[in-house]
Chain A
Amino acid sequence: MSILVNKDTKVIVQGFTGKEGTFHAEQCLAYGTQIVGGVTPNKGGQTHLGKPVFNTVKEAVATTGATVSMIFVPPAFVADAVMEAADAGITLSVIITEGAPVRDMQAAKSYAVKHDMMTIGPNCPGIITADECKIGIMPGNVFKKGNVGLISKSGTLTYEGANQVVKEGYGITTAVGIGGDPIIGLSYKQLLPMFEADPETEAIVMIGEIGGDLEIQAAAFIKEHITKPVVAFIAGQTAPKGKRMGHAGAIISGSAGTAKEKMDALEAAGVRVVVSPAEIGKAVKEVLEAKA
């Protein structure tokens, strides 16, 4: 088991024939992901990486039966691509592109929600179900199959966390990189119950960072609804106020969105909070051993 995607998931790539789209679609295919085609306007009818290219998402969905799209189009076209996917009946869109304007994402997400389409990202590494399906840009070999679910705003911290879990002798069910933009798709609060319901997942790692209040919302949710052990790390305890730390959303505005308030809220919700990402693996081992 896993959440959201597995070996049967049919995926199309929006921005299929571009440099990034091509490189990563190839990597995903090599991982075993069922990429069934892609979309690039005016290249419909061609074949790329051995898969059909379509002019529109609608055609791609009608022909291939794809339910998930992976988006690599340039930032200015992301909102358009997300809305096209939603309109065509895609149920999950994974937006890898970095640098989409916030106003565009506001409109796109609002449209997606109205059309019952889930989104992941933008500006994220994507989602991977170990040994089954990789939709994104993460190094697949890091994610050995196991019993830990992972949710993270940061790409490299996702790899770091997964790597430590694997080094402790465990592995990953599904890992989701949710992105660090001010407006993102699926977040902790939506993903936590999926991991709670997944029989294979026995513990959950959540990696957050400064800015916004998604981690605070997650803490409240965990307290009420999550029975599986959760290990959390919040990046940016040493980040100065008012400075944007790489990610568009990673900024302490005034005194809101600090790592401390998020860590306190999670701790109060019974989450095992680690002060350094170097402790994630050990903490996972401890909570799993305590459970067993």
Chain B
Amino acid sequence: MNIHEYQAKQVFQKYGVPTPRGIIATTPEEAVANAKELGGKIWVVKAQIHAGGRGLGGGVKLAKSIDEVKELAEEILGMTLVTHQTGPEGKLVQKVYIEEGADIQDELYLGVVLDRAKEMPVIMASTEGGMEIEKVAEESPEKIVKVAVDPAVGFQGFHGRELVFGLGITDKAEQGKFIKFAKALYTVYMENDAEMIEINPLIKTGAGDFIALDGKMGFDDSALGRHPDIEAMRDLSEEDPDEREAGEYGLSYIALDGEIGCMVNGAGLAMGTMDTINYMGGTPANFLDVGGTASAETVAKGFEIILKNPNVKAIFVNIFGGIVRCDRIANGILEATEKVDVNVPVIVRLDGTNAEEASVILNNANIENIITATDLGDGARKAVEAAKGAK
């Protein structure tokens, strides 16, 4: 689960990670009131969507008067912001964060993620603030300082020293401030079961203070149960409605831009099915894992979600029956086709326990648009042919 910048900054503040002062607004009037409350002469109006690249897309702008705050809030609220992370369809801006202006001397980068190879959180810092860290990693990896912290011992003095010397921070007072900042951020990461924290840019002010000018946080979904405060920050409007609906039924669904709907048990086989369709010259319309125990209900729901996509020209049901026997799944598919109007060819491949009985059940049902397949390759080929025939 991801949260907005203003929410990430609220979490930061609880742990003493310095941020500019700011107040969230949903209307231009609120934006003006917030700017007045914050005081000062410069404000930043920032679109709140779950995507990076907001500045380049025109979603972050500087206001030098209260009137300008109003104009910018009017412009940004309700706009569809397109960035390199939103996709071409963009995202509707429903909230703007009004923040006090900052005196920027230097822009840095600081993040914490899990290093899967080391199996520890790693703090990543760079002098190249404002740039995408991926790009820095590609073009000048020497400019990224990485410090892995073993949670068994926590953030030690040497971790801090490696960071500041790696970044070339030589002023002793500044070193102390940066180390305190990084240590607090590590604590934010650990105590909230974060999956990723990114501050880009983290700025150094003229006075030598370090401030999180931006903030991005993602959390381990498996741990949300023990963080009700974080879970309460969930913004459902940022999530794909079909993916969310599927999730409520225990299905894992991701829309893609192809023509062949896929319904598969198990995430690996689901990806493998997409790959096989692609290999046979077709295009998958979605990833859908109906889970280890496919039932008539989950299969019916799967058909419903797949068929919402108007590009779907055929559906490939690929289920490897293990503990759940194929004959039961075959009956489930027949039940599901009674509940849901399936108006495209459905290629069914059931393999594993009782596969032969299943194929008899499906063939005897004699439903016109159900085509049985003997194995994965056969099923994918038939699905690709069916989708081409439907054009």
Contacts and interface: CB of A to CB of B under 8 A. Distances in A.
Question: Do A and B truly interact?
Answer: yes
Interface of A: 27, 75-76, 99-104, 106-107, 109-110, 137-139, 141-142, 152-157, 159-160, 163-164, 180, 182-183, 207, 209-213, 217, 233, 235-240, 242-243, 245-250, 254-255, 259, 275-279
A160 B151 CA distance: 38
Contacts, number: 174
Contacts of A209: 267-268, 271
Contacts of B226: 76, 101
Contact of A235 (B256, B265, B271): B271
Interface stretch (B176-184, B202-210, B372-380, B382-390): B372-380
Contacts of B270: 245-246
A69 to B, nearest CB: 21
Contact of A277 (B114, B265, B376): B376
B94 interface: no
Interface stretch (B34-42, B217-225, B299-307, B338-346): B217-225
A233 B255 CA distance: 23
A109 B151 CA distance: 12
Contact of B116 (A153, A154, A212, A255): A212
B320 A247 contact: no
Report, nearest first, the 10 A-B pairs whose CB atoms are least far apart.
A154-B268, A246-B267, A156-B266, A278-B377, A139-B322, A101-B223, A235-B271, A156-B269, A157-B268, A277-B272
A183 B376 CA distance: 30
A206 to B, nearest CB: 12
Interface residues of B, number: 55
Interface of B: 85, 114, 116-117, 119-120, 134, 137-138, 150-152, 190, 193, 195, 220-223, 225-226, 252, 254, 256, 264-272, 274-280, 284, 287, 289, 292, 320-323, 351-353, 375-377, 380
A209 B277 CA distance: 17
Contacts of B280: 276
A123 to B, nearest CB: 9
Given A102-B193, A159-B320, A238-B274, A276 B268 contact: no
A42 B108 CA distance: 54
A74 B247 CA distance: 19
B320 A156 contact: yes
A166 to B, nearest CB: 11
Contact of A103 (B223, B272, B279, B287): B223
A102 B222 contact: yes
Contacts of A212: 116-117
B381 to A, nearest CB: 9
A236 B270 CA distance: 9
B271 A245 contact: yes
Contacts of B375: 164, 278
20 contacts: A101-B226, A102-B193, A102-B195, A103-B193, A104-B223, A110-B119, A137-B292, A139-B353, A154-B266, A154-B271, A157-B272, A182-B114, A209-B267, A211-B116, A235-B271, A238-B271, A238-B275, A239-B271, A243-B287, A246-B289
